[in-house]
Structures are given as structure tokens and as C-alpha cells.
Structure 1
Amino acid sequence: MNTIMHHIGIFFALAPRRGDKSNSKIVEWLRLRQEKSGNSINYKFWHKDKNSVANHCDELETKISDIEPLRRLLSALNFIPRIVVDKVRRSWVYNDWEVSIDSVKNLGTFVELEYKGRMRKPDPDKITQEMREFIANLRLGRVEENQRGYPYMLLYN
């Protein structure tokens, strides 16, 4: 199934609220997302491998009916938006993955593979290797991996 969605995500970096002032160490994001099918709030925590490279993230997400009261609540708690990610996403399901083509405003077009399976304890290294093999078999030529996500790319690239 092919779906097309327009997402507007407002990202708040949590590290400064926890005493970490280093932009290079942002590993937590709180995101408010607006889209036609409904709004949501999402928490992301990026895990790093032994080389300190982010290789997967935990995500907690729930739908919200009205984004404005939550935005005002976060503002009252002194959460400051760091970046807005405006993208159009076309996605398909392949095995346990969501395969997406994202057109991100002020950034470009990207392909994203995201594990959507239901394993209790998935092995991120194994899943990442399977995804790399899948991409290699497509013979697309030069492929660059991004382990930081669109908010980080918009802020620091």
C-alpha cells in the first residue's frame, strides 16, 4: 500500500533542560506533529553503538486531538522549539519495514527505512545489516547513511 502524507513536526531538544548544553550530544527529542490524519506527540531517545554513532531510537508516541493547548503547555514549562521539519512522505510497507521517500523542505529528498516489526527485543545491529543488504541489492550507486535524523541535519548541516 502506498500512502502520501504531509507532516509538520515541531522538535524540542531535551538535553539543555537536563543540564547538557552541547548541541552535538542531542540524543532526546520531543516532537509535536501536525498532519491531516491527526496530531501526535512523540518522544525519541537515540541509542549509540560502541563507536558513539546513533544506530536506533526508542519512540513513544500518542495521538492528541488539539495541538495548540499542548504547545502552550510546553511553552509555559519553558520548552523552546528548536526546529520545524516540514516534509511530504510517500511510504510503503515491505516485510517488517516502512520504506519512505521524504521530500523535506530546505533539505532535499531522502529514502528512509524504519523497522515496524513487533519483536519483543529486536536486534538493532541485525536489522540494520538486513537494511544495508536490501539497499545494496538495489544497486543504487553511492548511498549515504544518516544516523541523526532531519532535525539534526537542518540544525547543523
Structure 2
Amino acid sequence: MKNVEVEIQVIIKNPEKIEKRLNEVGKFVKSRKQIDKYFVPPQRDFFAKNMPDEYLRVRYEEGRNHLNYSFLHFSEDGWLRSTDEYETFVDKPEIAEEIFKKIGLILKVTVKKTRKYFDCGDFEVTLDEIEDLGDFMEVEAKKDFGGVDKTRKACSDFLNNLNVEYEIQKEMGYPRMLYKKLNRA
């Protein structure tokens, strides 16, 4: 099923303080460990681009495993606007991985994270601790605010109204950031 996702991702330095603030404006939902394995076809390496615009992922998540293809849409100045996501559950993700390898797909990077989910009304907020990268926060709209640009602005306004410290980054996504760090790409 296709889903258009609009979110903002920022770097955070004080996750405990931000978690406290999120509990004031919303409610904690759950915490999950996730292992995301990203694959590429040999003739079309998604990571060869400075800003990859597509990903193929197998996610291991405590009994709720997924197969996902994402296509990213960027603004003219290089900022992520939205993502088209196609996702389905897989009972045996290790078999999906084996199929990928048998047809020649290459495992490019593995992202390991602990993700805490918060319900903040019209927004889902996650605090992510990424192994070898650090701490991040994502603010994702749960509804359409009148198109991608207005929805993105609503996410930005919500983030600013939290009154917490964060660092804006050019949104490369965890797989690209980790790949770049580990391979000095």
C-alpha cells in the first residue's frame, strides 16, 4: 500500500529533556528496537547519489517485520518534502533477505535503532537512538494539512512550539548518514 509521508528530522543533544517535554504535550505510546537492512541492485546503487531518492529496506521489529520501498521527493533547494512509501508485513524477513541476495541485490548498510513513539495529536513524534550516529527526533504529520508544503510547515510549527533544542540538518536519512560515516563517502 502506498503512503505519502511528510516529516521533519532533527538532531538532538538532550533526549531525556525532550522526552519530558513530549510527555507534557502528548503521551508516550511504545518503545521498539529496530534493525533496518538496506539493499540496492548492482546496476542502480541508490547510495551512489549525493542525496539518495529511493531505498529498499527489510525491517526487523519485535515480531512486526516489514518490507519497504521508499521514493523521496526533494524541493529545488535540496530539502526533503515528502516520501512515497510502499510497505508490507513479512513473516520471515530473513527469507526476503535471502531472495534479495539470490537475485543479486547487495546489502549496503544496516541501521540499528531504539525508537520511542509519542502521540501528540495531529503528529507522531519519535525519539531515535541510532547506533554509531546519535540521537534524533522525527515529527510526522498524521493528517494532510492542505498539501505537502502546508503539512511540512505544520510539522515545523509543532517542532518550534516544543521549545526544545535541536539542530536542523539537510535530510539525508539514517541509512545515507550511516553509510557516509562508515565508508567516508
Q: Same fold (TM over 0.5)?
A: yes
1:28 lines up with 2:54 in the alignment: yes
1:131 lines up with 2:155 in the alignment: yes
Unmatched 5+ residue regions in structure 1?
A: none
Secondary structure, in 3 states, of the residue corresponding to 2:81? strand
- For 1:99, the equivalent position in structure 2 comes to 125
Could you tell me whether the CA contact under 8 Å between 1:55 and 1:147 is conserved in 2? Answer: no
Could you tell me whether the CA contact under 8 Å between 2:65 and 2:90 is conserved in 1? Answer: yes
Q: Residue type matched to 1:148 in 2?
A: M
1:5 lines up with 2:32 in the alignment: yes
**In the superposition, relative to structure 1, how do residues 20 and 114 fare at CA in structure 2: closer, same or farther (>3 Å)?**
closer
Secondary structure, in 3 states, of the residue corresponding to 2:95? helix
- For 1:155, the equivalent position in structure 2 comes to 179
Query: Which deviations, in whole Å up to 9, do the C-alpha atoms of 1:67-126 show, x marking residues without a partner?
Result: 121111100111101110100000012223210000100011111112233x5x962211
Moved over 6 A (4+): none
Secondary structure, in 3 states, of the residue corresponding to 1:41? strand
Q: Shift of the alpha carbon at 1:142? A: 4.7
Alpha-carbon RMSD = 2.2
Secondary structure, in 3 states, of the residue corresponding to 1:84? strand
1:76 lines up with 2:102 in the alignment: yes
**Could you tell me the TM-score, scaled by structure 2's length?**
0.74
Q: Distance between the aligned counterparts of 1:90 and 1:149, measured in 2?
A: 17
1:41-56 alignment, distance < 5 Å:
41-56=67-82
The structure, 1 or 2, with the larger RCO (C-alpha pairs under 8 Å, 6+ apart) is 2
Secondary structure, in 3 states, of the residue corresponding to 1:81? strand
Q: Shift of the alpha carbon at 1:11? A: 0.8
Q: Distance between the aligned counterparts of 2:65 and 2:46, measured in 1?
A: 29
Q: Distance between the aligned counterparts of 1:136 and 1:20, measured in 2?
A: 32
Q: Distance between the aligned counterparts of 1:103 and 1:21, measured in 2?
A: 22
Q: Shift of the alpha carbon at 1:146? A: 4.3
Query: Which deviations, in whole Å up to 9, do the C-alpha atoms of 1:16-42 show, x marking residues without a partner?
Result: 534778331421100000011321100
Aligned length: 154
**Could you tell me the TM-score, scaled by structure 1's length?**
0.87
